[in-house]
Copies of this chain bind each other. A is one copy, B any other.
Amino acid sequence: MKRILYILHAILLSGVTAIAQQRPPAISSPEVHPDQSITFKYFSRKAQKVTLNGEFLKSPVALTKDTSGVWSVTVPPVKPDIYPYSFTVDSVQLADPSNTYIFANERFKRSIVDVPGDQPLIHSLQNVPHGKVSYRYYKSGTLGTTRQLLIYTPPGFNPNGKTKYPVLYLIHGGSDTEETWTTVGRANLIADNLIAQGKAKPMLIVMPYGNVRPAPMPDFTKDMVADIVPFVEANYPVNKDSKSRAVAGFSVGGGQTLNIGLTNTDKFAYICSYAPYTATEEFQKNFTNWSPDAAKINSQLKLFTISVGIDDFLYEPVKKNIAMFEEKKIKTKSYIVPGGHTWMNCKQYLATTLQELFK
């Protein structure tokens, strides 16, 4: 027995030492306190200056270092929501190394802090039935490759049952990925909560990867219509009429939404564009000399919404866009709300329009 104990002791020590050597001290960051103040921490003995940048801040704030090399700052209570943030360490911007929740994005590496409210927010994990999010591969004939997409199926979903569902095709922003609508936008939890409250219809939400580079933008419109929609309709129990299809998207995805939706009003009866970025060749080509049959389009569309925040850097162009559609006599419902070009706003745009789909 002594020998076994000796062996185990050796095992314990060697493992612990090896792991201890390769790791910085354990710090917990961020820590959201009951009063909604938040403490952020970063470890570095060598850094000269560490600042926190967050969408809950007007301007960056400095962290201060203790004798062990742990930098920290506590910011005063912030409005409950999910916020992106990052550190700048000397000249380097980076995500919080202690935080697993990363903003899914191709260019910005930021972390996410979830500040809960006294009452659960529409994007909170609540004690309701949960749908699931599945990662799938589909073949894109248009792009000549296999791409990944995410599909939310609602609670009680039965792939072989008699119930046929409507589908929302939901597109991320410019440098985001197919994961941004779940990791940052919490589209799945917003749907869970609204369905539980009877405010949204049970539906599938398909979240594709919208970036097509270096090919031009129209390729994504084609990918959506020729590849993504057929893949979903071949593999899921869904209705296949335009009244059972919606397309929505944010920023560059909001522009793609306008291109996809308005050039395919026979296929999508619901178009929800969130803070659309429209300075693209595809938009210019589609809408510069556009002479739409407004009566026909208005009869085909059950809903066409454009949402934007008054502090959004795209506020002016979006307003002009809305005016352009109105001038063309296309029926448009606009949501002009407080806030900027942020995913805080984006979650609200989704929560609002989800309640209007397929009704």
Give residues in A with beta carbon < 8 Å to B.
Answer: 1, 4-5, 7-8, 10-16, 18-19, 23-24, 44, 46-47, 89-95, 97-98, 100, 102, 104-109, 125, 127, 130, 132-137, 146, 158-161, 174, 177, 182, 188, 277-279, 283-284, 287-289, 313-314, 316-317, 320-321, 323-324, 327
Highest count of chain B CB atoms <10 Å: which of A10, A134, A177: A134
Decide if B289 touches A1 in the complex (CB within 8 Å). yes
| Shortest distance between the CB of A174 and any CB in chain B (Å) | 7
Decide if B134 touches A13 in the complex (CB within 8 Å). no
Given the known interface contacts A10-B320, A317-B11, the answer about A4 and B288 at a Cβ–Cβ threshold of 8 Å is: yes
Residues from chain B with Cβ under 8 Å of A8 in the complex: 283-284, 287-288, 324
Q: How far is the CA of A134 from the CA of B92 in the complex (A)?
A: 35
Residues from chain B with Cβ under 8 Å of A127 in the complex: 146
Decide if B15 touches A278 in the complex (CB within 8 Å). yes
Highest count of chain B CB atoms <10 Å: which of A13, A109, A161: A109
- Nearest residue (CB) in B for A158 is B160
Q: How far is the CA of A91 from the CA of B98 in the complex (A)?
A: 17
| Shortest distance between the CB of A140 and any CB in chain B (Å) | 13
Given the known interface contacts A136-B130, A289-B1, the answer about A15 and B314 at a Cβ–Cβ threshold of 8 Å is: yes
Q: How far is the CA of A94 from the CA of B5 in the complex (A)?
A: 41
User: 13 extra interchain contacts, Cβ-Cβ under 8 A, other than A14-B279, A94-B94, A100-B177?
Assistant: A7-B323, A7-B324, A8-B288, A10-B316, A15-B317, A19-B277, A46-B91, A89-B92, A95-B95, A95-B109, A97-B109, A100-B104, A132-B135
Residues from chain B with Cβ under 8 Å of A289 in the complex: 1
Cβ 8 A contact of A98, one of B10, B44, B106 = B106
Copies of the chain in the assembly? 2
| Shortest distance between the CB of A346 and any CB in chain B (Å) | 16
Decide if A134 touches B132 in the complex (CB within 8 Å). yes
Decide if A12 touches B284 in the complex (CB within 8 Å). yes
Given the known interface contacts A14-B317, A19-B174, the answer about A97 and B108 at a Cβ–Cβ threshold of 8 Å is: yes
Decide if A91 touches B174 in the complex (CB within 8 Å). no
Residues from chain B with Cβ under 8 Å of A278 in the complex: 11-12, 15
Given the known interface contacts A102-B102, A135-B133, A284-B8, the answer about A313 and B91 at a Cβ–Cβ threshold of 8 Å is: no
Decide if B92 touches A11 in the complex (CB within 8 Å). no
8 A-B pairs with the lowest CB-CB distances in the bound complex, closest first: A46-B91, A15-B279, A12-B279, A11-B317, A94-B94, A18-B313, A133-B135, A92-B92
Highest count of chain B CB atoms <10 Å: which of A8, A15, A160, A323: A15
Supply 15 A–B pairs (Cβ within 8 Å), ascending by A.
Answer: A4-B288, A8-B288, A11-B317, A14-B279, A14-B313, A18-B313, A19-B277, A44-B92, A46-B90, A46-B91, A47-B92, A97-B107, A97-B109, A130-B136, A132-B134
Q: How far is the CA of A4 from the CA of B105 in the complex (A)?
A: 34
Residues from chain B with Cβ under 8 Å of A89 in the complex: 91-92
| Shortest distance between the CB of A30 and any CB in chain B (Å) | 13
Residues from chain B with Cβ under 8 Å of A137 in the complex: 125, 130
Q: How far is the CA of A188 from the CA of B148 in the complex (A)?
A: 13
Q: How far is the CA of A182 from the CA of B327 in the complex (A)?
A: 50
Q: How far is the CA of A109 from the CA of B93 in the complex (A)?
A: 13
Residues from chain B with Cβ under 8 Å of A14 in the complex: 279, 313-314, 316-317
Residues from chain B with Cβ under 8 Å of A135 in the complex: 132-135, 182, 188
